[in-house]
Amino acid sequence: MPLNETDRAWIRQEIQSAHRRRGLGKFTGFIKDWGGTSAAVAIVIFAFTQWGAYVQFRTHTGDRLDTIEHTIYSLQRSQVTSHLQSAEEEAKAGQVATANAQLRMAAESLQTLASGHVPAPPSFFQQSVERVDRLSSLGLNNASANQALMALAEYRSALQQSPNFPPSSWRVVSLPMTTSEIAEQFSKQSGLTVLRAANPDVQFFATPTGNAITVQNIVFIGGKQKLDGFTWVGVTFVGTKISFDGTYPAALDRTLFVNCTFDVSNQPHATPLLEYAALADAGTLQLNP
């Protein structure tokens, strides 16, 4: 029997209602069926349970990524340790050339770590310095040992946190200051002075030719500085090229090197400076020619 007009109208209404219940319509239908209060409670419960799961997922993912990152760092540092251990074994076996090659590879690995600012604990630097010291006593040449120590010093320096001073407090240095200028302006100051080199080739202080000069409480930014002839007290070098050729004695007292590079000879008098920087020693050090 054919449908009458009333039945057809009812069917069309049901079809339209079903379409509306898809997607958002389904959600609004849920609210209508359950009532406003009950639906609101259900929505709140749903939101809290799903948000908790999301936070838990993010936390666990972050923990796993941190673990992976620390593992990678450990593997990168272990390459240095492996090279130093191999160098020591080869040196004890009388294979000096092979030991020197292992030292050079250790230095290259350290340079990679420094450029990537890969974190390392103080114990890593302490143990590495001790290994290089032992290698020096086994007959390896000073050039290879100092190259490794220099890489250690620059790596440790790259990890030091730089002090933050507003540019308005900087004093720009364009030419090396003379001995008389240094003695007059900086030998007895009590406050902190921030000096910035006008360009990387500027040396802040000219080397004294007479008695040693004591300078204190200065932050040097950029440029370069020869340590000879000065007693450096409470001084911080930031991004400075450091040199010491042993022409005159020098002394360090609570001197910090931040992101610095070192240009020193392969002579034994440079070794204490490199070890001081590699260990970030906050004490005192006498450097002799």
pLDDT in tens, the chain (289 residues): 455 566 556 555 655 554 454 444 554 554 455 455 555 555 555 556 666 665 665 555 655 555 665 577 788 899 999 999 999 999 999 999 999 999 999 999 999 999 999 999 999 999 999 999 999 888 787 888 999 999 999 999 999 998 887 777 789 999 999 988 988 887 666 678 999 999 999 999 999 988 889 999 999 999 999 999 999 999 999 999 999 999 999 999 999 999 999 999 888 899 999 999 999 988 999 999 8
Do 83 and 195 lie in one domain? The reply is no
CB–CB of 133/92 below 8 Å? no
Domain limits for position 212: 167-287
Do 128 and 177 lie in one domain? The reply is no
Total domain count, the chain: 2
Asked whether residue 32 is domain-assigned, the answer is no
Do 181 and 239 lie in one domain? The reply is yes
For residues 155 and 139, what is the distance between their CA atoms, to the nearest angstrom?
25
Do 154 and 179 lie in one domain? The reply is no
Do 78 and 172 lie in one domain? The reply is no
Output the pLDDT for position 37.
Answer: 58
CB–CB of 229/212 below 8 Å? yes
Output the pLDDT for position 27.
Answer: 47
Do 141 and 175 lie in one domain? The reply is no
Asked whether residue 149 is domain-assigned, the answer is yes
Domain boundary pick from 159, 187, 218: 159
Do 173 and 278 lie in one domain? The reply is yes
Asked whether residue 221 is domain-assigned, the answer is yes
Q: What angle do CA 265, 256, 164 make, to 5 degrees?
A: 130
Q: Which residues contact 111 (CB under 8 A, 6 or more apart)?
A: 151, 154, 155
Domain boundary pick from 115, 133, 159: 159
Do 222 and 132 lie in one domain? The reply is no
Domain boundary pick from 125, 159, 193: 159
Output the pLDDT for position 43.
Answer: 55
Asked whether residue 231 is domain-assigned, the answer is yes
Q: Is 3 left (phi over 0), alpha (psi -120 to 50) or beta?
A: beta
Helix (H) or strand (E) holding 284: strand 284-287
Asked whether residue 41 is domain-assigned, the answer is no
Annotate 11-50 with DSSP letters as a single string: HHHHHHHHHHTSTHHHHHHHHHHH-HHHHHHHHHHHHHHH
Do 97 and 145 lie in one domain? The reply is yes
Output the pLDDT for position 21.
Answer: 46
Asked whether residue 188 is domain-assigned, the answer is yes
